[in-house]
């Protein structure tokens, strides 16, 4: 009942006669009062005056009911170790494709290459469970898709000039804005689940662990709704998942956003360092680097530094 109730309260702009609410929700007054008490207990402020209900204040918390149509697949936690842990558990228990674990804070947020991801209050931290019908070697496609969808969204919604840095960082001239981490589990050569974790510095002030990190608030001087960002991201990502399935199109969009191409780079992998001129990303998501001796090296995983 909460999603519909909130939708009506928002559409009435603070002027929702109780009789209308009871009629539209087809419920008893007790049921209505229970729903109001539930929302007020979760940080909303809904008041009644002269038989009219008003939504005076609402928290920016990604409660499941804030995602109409996804209510049963959003798993919100005020605090957790890492949404990657929660999503893995959900996936192992058989949750559906596109289930999401989202947290306000993480005590052990993880980044790529075994780094920590600072996860203070105000950022958006979530992991999606995907169950694609593709061979594991194509799993990387979804992180590229997530990067371009997120970059487009931040450009449009927050008016930030954001680009991508290979493989999946979202960066601006002032520093890193968001990071993406994926974890795959395969059974008998098929993807069982592919979890994509995204951390976006939204209203927080990232410090310490991430070098040169910035947030949406630091860049724009204003706060943005994390809930609205997540809602819009999931809608766009899902739409694209069910779209044309043309990965070449995703890669060409990624290239248009890329900060890591046509420049000198240093790639640090777990066991080697590759230095050269990055001039392309191939159909496997590998960075194509021309080395000083003219040979071509294709790097699949690693940390990219602009030199
Ligand atoms: C990186 O740039 O190194 C990737 C960072 C990914 C961070 C997100 S926050 C949500 C999810 N939970 C985690 O512990 N990590 C990812």
pLDDT in tens, the chain (307 residues): 888 999 999 998 878 999 999 999 999 999 999 999 999 999 999 999 988 999 999 999 999 999 989 999 999 999 999 999 999 999 999 999 999 999 999 999 999 988 899 999 999 999 999 999 999 999 999 999 999 999 999 999 999 999 999 999 999 999 999 999 999 999 989 999 999 999 999 999 997 655 689 999 999 999 999 999 999 999 999 999 988 678 888 999 999 999 879 999 999 988 899 999 999 999 999 999 999 999 999 999 898 998 8
Q: 10 Å Cβ neighbour count for 76?
A: 19
40-47: list long-range contacts, CB under 8 Å, 24+ apart: 44/6, 46/9
Indicate the burial class of 94 (C-beta count within 10 angstroms; 0-12, 13-18, 19 or more): exposed
SS3 88: helix
Rounded CA-CA distance 3/257 in Å is: 36
CB 165 near ligand 1, within 6 Å = no
Residue nearest to atom 3 of ligand 1 (CA): 111
Q: In testing the pocket of ligand 1, which one of 102, 109, 129 has its CB within 8 Å of the most ligand atoms?
A: 109
CATH code of domain 263-306: 2.30.30.100
Q: How far is the CA of 11 from the centre of ligand 1 (A)?
A: 35
One DSSP character per residue, 139-161 reads THHHHHHHHHHHHHHHHHHH---
Q: Count of H helices and E strands in the chain?
A: 8, 15
CB 276 near ligand 1, within 6 Å = no
Position 147 scores a pLDDT of 97
Q: How far is the CA of 86 from the centre of ligand 1 (A)?
A: 13
CATH 2.30.30.100 intervals, the chain: 263-306
Q: How far is the CA of 209 from the centre of ligand 1 (A)?
A: 12
Q: How far is the CA of 113 from the centre of ligand 1 (A)?
A: 11
Torsion of CA 269, 283, 278, 287, to 10 degrees: 0
SS3 170: strand
CATH superfamily of 64-257: Bira Bifunctional Protein; Domain 2 (3.30.930.10)
The bridge status of strand 74-80 relative to strand 99-106 is: parallel
Indicate the burial class of 246 (C-beta count within 10 angstroms; 0-12, 13-18, 19 or more): exposed
Residue nearest to atom 7 of ligand 1 (CA): 199
β-bridge partners, 85: none
Position 43 scores a pLDDT of 96
What is the number of the ligand 1 atom nearest to the C-alpha of 168?
2
Q: What pTM was estimated for this model as a whole? A: 0.93
CA distances (Å), 54 to each of 10, 129, 211, in order? 9, 37, 44
CATH 3.30.930.10 intervals, the chain: 64-257
CATH code of domain 2-57: 1.10.10.10
Q: How far is the CA of 278 from the centre of ligand 1 (A)?
A: 25
Angle 49-52-55 (CA atoms, 0-180°, nearest 5)? 90
203 contacts 216 by C-beta, under 8 angstroms: yes
Residue nearest to atom 10 of ligand 1 (CA): 125
CATH 1.10.10.10 intervals, the chain: 2-57
296 contacts 279 by C-beta, under 8 angstroms: no
62-67: list long-range contacts, CB under 8 Å, 24+ apart: 62/102, 62/124, 62/126, 62/226, 62/227, 62/230, 63/2, 63/227, 65/2, 65/3, 65/6, 66/3, 66/6, 66/227, 66/231, 67/3, 67/230, 67/231, 67/234
CB 179 near ligand 1, within 6 Å = yes
The closest of 201, 218, 219, 202 to 210, measured between CA atoms, is 201
Q: How far is the CA of 152 from the centre of ligand 1 (A)?
A: 19
Position 12 scores a pLDDT of 87
């Amino acid at each position: 009942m909460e999603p519909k109730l909130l939708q009506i309260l928002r559409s009435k702009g603070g002027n929702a006669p109780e009789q209308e609410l009871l009629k539209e929700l087809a419920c008893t007054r007790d049921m209505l009062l229970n729903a109001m008490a539930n929302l007020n207990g979760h940080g909303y402020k809904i008041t009644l005056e002269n038989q009219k209900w008003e939504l005076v204040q609402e928290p920016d918390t990604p409660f499941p009911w804030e995602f109409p149509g996804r209510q049963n697949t959003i798993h919100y936690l005020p605090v957790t170790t890492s949404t990657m842990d929660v999503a893995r558990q959900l996936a192992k228990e058989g949750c559906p494709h596109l289930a999401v674990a989202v947290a306000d804070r993480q005590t052990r947020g993880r980044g790529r290459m075994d780094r920590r991801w600072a996860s203070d209050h105000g950022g958006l931290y979530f992991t999606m469970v995907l169950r694609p019908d593709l061979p594991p070697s194509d799993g990387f496609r979804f992180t590229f898709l997530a990067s371009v969808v997120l970059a487009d969204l931040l450009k449009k919604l927050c008016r930030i000039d954001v680009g991508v840095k290979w493989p999946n960082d979202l960066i601006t001239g002032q520093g890193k804005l968001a990071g993406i981490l994926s974890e795959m589990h395969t059974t008998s050569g098929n993807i069982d689940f592919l979890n994509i974790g995204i951390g976006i510095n939204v209203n927080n002030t990232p410090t310490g662990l991430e070098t040169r990190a910035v947030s949406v608030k630091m860049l724009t001087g204003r706060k943005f709704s994390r809930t609205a960002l997540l809602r819009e991201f999931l809608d766009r990502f899902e739409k694209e998942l069910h779209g044309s399935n043309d990965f070449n199109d995703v890669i060409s969009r990624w290239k248009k956003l890329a900060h890591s191409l046509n420049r000198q780079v240093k790639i640090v992998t777990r066991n080697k360092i590759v230095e050269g001129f990055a001039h392309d990303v191939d159909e496997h998501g590998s960075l194509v680097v021309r080395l000083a001796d003219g040979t071509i090296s294709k790097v699949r995983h690693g940390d990219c530094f602009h030199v």
